[in-house]
A and B are shown apart, each in its own frame.
Chain A
Amino acid sequence: MTKKVVIIGGGIAGMEAASTLSRMNIDVLLIEKKQQLGGHVGEWDHLFPNFRNAREITRSLLYDLQDKHIKICTSTEITGISKKSGKFEVRTTQQQTFKADSILLSTGFDLFDARKKEEYGYGIYENVITSVDLEQKLKESNVLTMASGVIPKRIAMIHCVGSRDEKSGYFHCSKVCCITAVKQAIEVKQKLPHAEIFCFYMDLRMYGKKFEELYREAQEKWGIQFVRGRLSEAAENMDGSLQIKSEDTLSGRPLKMNVDLMVLMIGMVPSESTTFLGKMLGIHFSEDGFINHDDIHLENNLTNVPGIFTAGTVTSPMTITDTIADARSAALKIATYIS
């Protein structure tokens, strides 16, 4: 009898784990609450560090899902999971019940709600947008404008919004925002060659392959300016432009400037689905709200509940590269567990 794995969450982690398991002749049921697979990557336009089209990733992962071992349920949410003599029983909003030998949680992350950082004025000032809004704009249109339709002359990219921020309640680094800001700054500069672009950062964490190179290119080739300082607040001027206040901590002086558009690099926070399912299953969370690993080095796909595994950003923010690797490793751990 073939073993069966239920994967909850059809983002790139869930998709990659599903195809890897199927290649090992394991039956997989992939459950996704949205209509489409692909998760947050599906909403993205181009990817760092090489400006590759994000659709290439999702398309490739989707292609690999065409296998007799894989069954996919979209627009489906989990209502309950119970464990009986080593087997899981998963109930869904479609009134279905599935039996499983193992469960993989790949429910991903949520985006930080920028309205919680009210001093930056998201949702209050019309020319404050998030990195996700910017990506949508870049995807949908060839020009980038202010809310009034005017071409912005000065744009500020604000790093660490909802990350490394004790007051927002999130201490952790979201890992992808620094390089995303660099990538988006270059893209904006390409569209608006006359615009001045400022990145306000705490530190620049250019740890990945080709990240540092891209950061250098942003400065040398595109003239993007990096200011080390955390934004304290923004106020709206009569014309809808924004006055921002910060401290340039390299020169040690307070800084006040007017910008036409402000982009908030919002971080990754633990997803509500993960919290909901984790609590239902009795899974341990670490203080940052993501799922905890007892052994962070050697067993980083395992949870405290035998038979339940994790892949991707349910445990901490990750890049696409890391998520794919994590999903493959999870598939291997599951295969070992159920045999």
Chain B
Amino acid sequence: MTYHHFVIPFNIGVAVLFAIILVKFTIWIVKLEPVDKKLIRKNFFSIKTLEAVKESFMEGLLHRKIFMVNPVLGYMHMSLAFGWFLLIVFGNFQAQFYTRTVIHPPHYPIFFNFFVTSPDEYLFKASFEFLMDLLLLFILTGLMIAITKRFYSRIVGLKKTTRLKFFDRLALGSLWLIFPLRLFAESFTSGIHHNGNFLTGTLGDAFAKFLPVEQLALPAWWGYSIALGAFFIALPYSRYMHIPAEILLIFLRSFGVRTRRNYSSYSDIEVRSCSRCGICIDACQINKSLGMNTIQSVYFLRSIRENNVDDEKLFTCMLCGRCENVCPVGIQLSDLRVTQRTKNGVRNTSSYDFLNPPPYKIADVVYFAGCMTHLTPAIKKSMLKIFDIAGVNYYFMDSDKEACCGRPLILSGHYENAAKLIDYNKKLIKKSKAKVLVTSCPICYKTFKEDYRLDIHVMHHTEYILKLVEVGILLLEKGDSRVVYHDPCELGRGLGIYEEPRILLEKVSRLLPSDDEKENALCCGGSLAGFNLSSAQKNAIRDDALASLMKSNPDKLITSCPLCKKTFSRGTKVQVQDIAELIASSAYVPEKKKISLKPEAEPVPVLS
């Protein structure tokens, strides 16, 4: 026997699910930007596809990243996803071994124990039966955690779990029922035939003693099939759509597709890939320091899906990137917020006619201090001193603070206006014929890297100073001050510069470790992006960050962002310095080098 009427709900569910997913995927892919489609065509037949397969396995099934953040939550996701996956795979093998054919109806392996009750032997029968029970147990343990989490979210470490809609409830309810019903159905059937393994067999024999298992078996199989069918039909309209969406996301990302400045079809896939795990809520300092838990990425993405993005969610965020850092799905949360700011922001009609190109200078290096550096002149002065000590032929492009880099406009959602400034600055950079652009501000740095598309090297001063030191142009004297280093958001998580400042600090001071560093660094609270935060709120965030940094009682707090410096220096008696200041005060040039530095010699910045 390979058919019974109860399999109908299951079969309808599977058919509907695959049809809807196919349609959705097709629409998403068709709507992708031409540049993204080109990337797919270019990379489809390459190693990148294999990498995506591997990543789908690691993240979609094993949930490696969730494991790393929260093992209990990781186990829950893994047991459900990977356990179910194995149940299907080995169920199919079992059916194939039994029937000795490759093709069979899709429902056959799912309801195998209903159809096959005879004691016929087949290859690996005992192993299969044991394995299928084991996998069912594996899934059920995960399910127990999931149910517990729904009611007591703190057990798995989340402070606040996410709220549900109708289809979410339907999907969730049927998902919860699927595996208990399978357990009952298989146990009842094995209770009749006394052929179950350690789980279903033991349970089935026990049930048979006091329950009319013969009458109960078929309704349980019906229930199991209906639960499966309901789950499959609800899935595309529920949060569980994140499962197929994430797989597509992994492939597209592997091909190089990204969310850029405007909300695209890829952004839409990202938004649908959110599993609503809530890990971002715990990472958010606005939650931790201010107790505000309505604006975090998980809620923000939901507001995009439900088309009710509001100013609070858009503009309270500091875009520090801490949520993005822990997001197990790897969604570009900060960029997504910027696209929505661009879409929902008030139109800015400022004119930039006042910009008159200043006289430029042909030089090896263009130095762009940035507005914030002009407000922290000790940094600017230190950088100019370093250039002078190293004998660099530089052009101080914004010495009169002509035009902004454009990033504050981008962060507030005015990309069009920013483009005008970018265009203006680009012309100046080109004219200088420099090979390197050095900036002191990580905020500028990020936009120079991401929005300017310059064909010269763009470096933050931490990288540049390290280069000067490495090639022996700048020598540093080791001091004995005990310093702690704060990773600025835009430099660290934004662009992955973690080692350069640390190597430099090891050379001039005693660098102390801190609790939250590198990827996990806290935002100083001074962010240009947190428009809705009051001074008091920003100060609260700053003070919590300071408390973490000051645990080791350092002599100095060193950072490499003028805004972080400014923010921190208002909140502590401890001296706060930019790394450039510390370097400038411990730098000297070897005598020999001084002589060899002729103006016509090789340009000083030697690049990799």
Contacts and interface: CB of A to CB of B under 8 A. Distances in A.
Contact of A118 (B376, B535, B571): B376
Nearest to B575: A115
Contacts of B374: 119, 233, 235
Interface in A263-318: none
A166 B569 contact: no
A222 interface: no
A116 B377 contact: no
Interface centre among B381, B539, B570, B571 (most CB of A within 10 A): B570
B377 A235 contact: yes
B539 A118 contact: no
Interface in B564-578: 565-566, 569-571
B378 interface: yes
B147 interface: no
Given A166-B535, A169-B535, A169-B539, A118 B381 contact: no
Contacts, number: 36
Given A166-B535, A167-B535, A168-B570, A233 B375 contact: yes
B377 A236 contact: yes
Interface in A163-191: 166-169
Contacts of B375: 118-119, 233
Interface residues of A, number: 16
B546 to A, nearest CB: 13
Contacts of A166: 535
A125 interface: yes
Contacts of B569: 115-116, 118
A121 interface: yes
B570 A116 contact: yes
B374 to A, nearest CB: 6
Contact of B377 (A124, A167, A168, A169): A124
Nearest to A166: B535
A207 to B, nearest CB: 26
A11 to B, nearest CB: 22
Sorting the interface of chain B by its residue count into under 10, 10 to 19, 20 to 34 or 35 or more gives: 10 to 19
Contacts of A116: 569-570
Contacts of B376: 118-119
A121 B376 CA distance: 8
B570 A119 contact: no
Nearest to A272: B573
B377 A125 contact: yes
Interface string A105-132: 0000000000110110101110000000
A123 B569 CA distance: 14
Nearest to A171: B535
A74 B376 CA distance: 39
A126 to B, nearest CB: 11
A166 B570 CA distance: 11
Contacts of B378: 118, 123-124
Interface centre among B376, B377, B539 (most CB of A within 10 A): B377
A124 B378 CA distance: 6
A123 B571 CA distance: 19
Contact of A119 (B377, B535, B539, B571): B377
Nearest to A123: B378
A109 to B, nearest CB: 17
Contacts of B571: 169
Contacts of A119: 374-377
Contacts of B381: 124, 236
Contacts of A121: 377
A121 B378 CA distance: 8
A234 B381 CA distance: 13
A159 B414 CA distance: 34
A163 to B, nearest CB: 14
Contacts of A169: 535, 539, 570-571
A115 B571 CA distance: 13
Interface in B543-562: none
A304 to B, nearest CB: 22
Contacts of A167: 535, 570
A168 B375 CA distance: 13
A238 to B, nearest CB: 11
A290 B565 CA distance: 26
A238 B570 CA distance: 29
Nearest to B372: A119
A234 to B, nearest CB: 8
B562 to A, nearest CB: 9
Interface string B510-552: 0000000000000000000000000100010000000000000
A247 to B, nearest CB: 14
A118 B562 CA distance: 10
Contacts of B377: 118-119, 121, 124-125, 233-236
A317 B108 CA distance: 85
B352 to A, nearest CB: 14
Contacts of B570: 116, 167-169
A288 to B, nearest CB: 12
Contacts of A168: 570
B525 to A, nearest CB: 12
Nearest to B573: A272
A234 B374 CA distance: 8
Given A118-B375, A234-B377, 9 more contacts: A118-B376, A118-B377, A118-B565, A119-B375, A119-B376, A123-B378, A124-B377, A167-B570, A168-B570
Interface of A: 115-116, 118-119, 121, 123-125, 166-169, 233-236
11 contacts: A116-B570, A118-B377, A119-B377, A121-B377, A124-B377, A166-B535, A169-B535, A169-B539, A169-B570, A169-B571, A233-B375
Closest 4 CB pairs of A and B: A119-B375, A118-B376, A166-B535, A124-B378
